[in-house]
Amino acid sequence: MLKQRVITALVLVALLLASLMSASRWPFALLTLVLMAAGGWEWGRLNQAAGTTALAMGLAVALGGAAALAAGWVDEAPAALWWLASALWLAGGAVALRAGPVSWPQLPRAARWGLGLLALWLAWLAVAHARAISINFMLSVLCLVWMADVAAYFGGRAFGRRKLAPSISPGKSWEGVWSGLAGVVLLAALWLWIDGRFGVDGASVYGRLLQGGGIAGLLLALVALCGLSVVGDLVESLVKRAAGAKDSSRLLPGHGGVLDRVDALLPVLPAALALTTLAAAVVR
């Protein structure tokens, strides 16, 4: 299992680096769109979609991405989309988590399918747009989520006492959440230091938030983004538990499925863009 996990991770990193090193932004946009389309297929399977219907759902994400590319939204996406995505995650995530895994299958399948596909499409558009802003900006958002996850894992193992959502994800604790936030704050400080001393292709998400809201605004934004990363993780866990599945699929040997790897990114990517547009408006 460990060997499979390492090999899969190395392949994914190699593909990611190759797409980022390209002078064109197309390879990265297409690579991430393929992954999100696979996530659409997984979402369908987790939500009672038959084989061909699940494939059609993955195709729908791909076609939605192609339409956004054709419309030029990767470079100039309407800011309202990021606020729409954030509002849906805040409201929908709260309702879903409060209702629990038992209530999820009781929602109409069309609603569950549509919400999942919309979340995947908006997350893909957000990461593609983040890459268009700058590689530094995009990586700072991705690493925020990864740091929150890693720090929460180790903090939870070391200090975890109070369960966060035992009926959804018994392994998660409030101590893990606070550890994740602490890790992100340290990451932000390190990233800001690097931004100020080394040449980068654009400001990071931390730099933009600091410029628009000062230290207090940056810290509040980090709390919000870390909270949303937890919501994304828990919502996917809720859906898997309702479906009786351990992983979203076996597309990524040793890692499970695409949704298992991007769940926390789905709400954070558009929310990061929403907050940076707000920060930019304050600066103006």
Q: Which two tokens stand for residue 123?
A: 């997350």
pLDDT for the residue numbered 265: 97
Round to whole Å and give the CA distance between 47 and 57.
11
Tell me the whole-structure pTM to 2 decimals.
Answer: 0.94
What whole-number distance in Å separates Cα of residue 1 and Cα of residue 117? 30
pLDDT at 2: 60
Give the pLDDT confidence score for residue 244 in this predicted structure. Answer: 95
pLDDT for 168 equals 94
- Cα distance between residue 182 and residue 54, in whole Å: 39
Confidence at residue 104, expressed as pLDDT on a 0 to 100 scale = 95
pLDDT of amino acid 130 = 96
- Residues in the chain where the model's pLDDT stays below 70: 1-2, 283-284
CA distance 91 to 84: 11
